[in-house]
Structure 1
Amino acid sequence: MRIYLVRHGKASKDPSIPTDAERPLTKRGRADVEAVARQIAQSGVDIHQIRHSGLVRAAQTADILGDHLQPPGGVIAVKGLHYADPVERLAHELHMEPYPVMFVGHNPFMENLVSLLLTRKTGLTPVWFTTSCTVCMEFIEGEWSIRWVLNREIMPGKD
C-alpha cells in the first residue's frame, strides 16, 4: 500500500490577509505545484483520492494536483492535517487505506508523520519538506519505507 504526502506550495505572506488559514499560493507556489504535479502524472502514479487540510493554500495545492492526476475518489478537505495536529491518529489509520491516497498538508505535521512512520518517534525529520515537496511511502510487511521524494528543487528542467 502506498501513500503520498505533499506539503502545500509556497504561500503568500501578505499582511493584509486576515488569517493564516486564508493565505493563498503565490505565483511561484502555483508554478512549483504545477511542475511537481506534471512530473507525478507523467510517472504514471495511480492515486484514488486527494485529501487536504482545508486551509486555502493546501486546497489550492490539492486542486492543482487533482487537475493533473484525476483521482476517481476526488479531492476533499479532511480534519487532522493542520500543522499543529497530532500525527498519531493518521499514522495508526494509514495502513488500513484500501487505495493509494495523497495527503496535502503542512509542516511540521508532514515531517512529524514521516518521522513517526519510519522511526516510531516524532521530531527526527528524515525528510525536509520544502514547499511543494512530495514523498511516496509504502507499507510492506508491517513496515513503512520511503519509495521516492520529489520537490521542485531537484526536478529536471528546474529554472
Structure 2
Amino acid sequence: MVKTLYLVRHAKSSRDNTSLSDLERPLDERGRQDAPTMGKRLSKRGVKPDLLASSPALRALTTAQLVADEIGYPRKDIVVDERLYASSPHDLLAVIYALDEKLDCVMFFGHNPEFADLTHRLSSEMIDLPTCAVAEFRFDTKAWADVGRIGPAKVKLDAPKK
C-alpha cells in the first residue's frame, strides 16, 4: 500500500490592496498563470488525488481551484479546512493523521512557513518551497499515522520556474 501526500504552497499573491485582510489577499497575475501551469504538469503525470483540501485564505483556495481545473478535480469537492491556515507543522501532521485510511492520495494547499517546515521535517532533501511549488511524498504504508514517523519512499519537488 502507498500513501501519497502533496503539499502545495499557494501561488504568488498580491499585496497591492492594503485594506484587505490576510485571508482576503488574491493571487497576482503571475500567480494566476503559475497555478494552471502546475496543474497541467500534474495532469501530464496522471495525478488524481482522492482529496483536495485548502486553507480558507483566498490565495490558497484560488490556487487549489486553478489546479483542480487542470487535473479534472471538481471545484465543488475541494474541502476548505481552517487547520491549513496559520498552523504549525505539528498541527498539519495532526490533520494528516486524521485522514480516512481509504484515501490513498491527498493534496493540501496552504502557506509558508508551515508548509516549508513540514516538507523539511518529512525529508531533509526539501529546503525551500517557493510560491506554487508542489512537494510530493510517497510513503510505503497503509496508515496516514506513519507519515513523519517513517521516511518517504519517494520525494519530488516541482515549482513553476523549474
What range is the shorter-chain TM-score in? 0.7 to 0.9
Report if aligned partners of 1:53, 1:82 keep a CA contact under 8 Å in 2. yes
Post-superposition CA distance 1:42-95 (Å, at most 9, x none): 111121121000100001000001111123692120121113443341353469
1:95 and 1:147 map into 2 onto residues whose CA distance is 22
2:102 and 2:67 map into 1 onto residues whose CA distance is 20
Counterpart of 1:106 (choices 98, 108, 111) is: 111
Number of aligned residues: 149
Q: Show the counterpart of 2:18.
A: 16
When normalised by structure 1's length, the TM-score is 0.82
1:29 pairs with 2:34: no
Report if aligned partners of 2:38, 2:132 keep a CA contact under 8 Å in 1. yes
Q: Show the counterpart of 1:136.
A: 136
2:99 and 2:122 map into 1 onto residues whose CA distance is 10
1:74 and 1:144 map into 2 onto residues whose CA distance is 30
1:103 and 1:87 map into 2 onto residues whose CA distance is 10
- Which amino acid in structure 2 is aligned with residue 148 of structure 1? K
- Which amino acid in structure 1 is aligned with residue 57 of structure 2? L
Deviates more, 1:80-89 or 1:31-40: 80-89
Q: Show the counterpart of 1:117.
A: 122
1:7 and 1:127 map into 2 onto residues whose CA distance is 14
Q: Show the counterpart of 1:52.
A: 54
Report if aligned partners of 2:11, 2:27 keep a CA contact under 8 Å in 1. yes
1:149 and 1:11 map into 2 onto residues whose CA distance is 20
Deviates more, 1:50-59 or 1:137-146: 137-146
Mapping of 1:18-97 within 5 angstroms?
Answer: 18-71=20-73, 74-85=77-88, 86-93=91-98, 96=101
Post-superposition CA distance 1:116-150 (Å, at most 9, x none): 3347xxxxx83311000001101115523243111
Deviates more, 1:94-103 or 1:61-70: 94-103
Cα 1:94–1:109 shift into 2, 3 Å:
farther
Give the superposition deviation at 1:26.
0.4
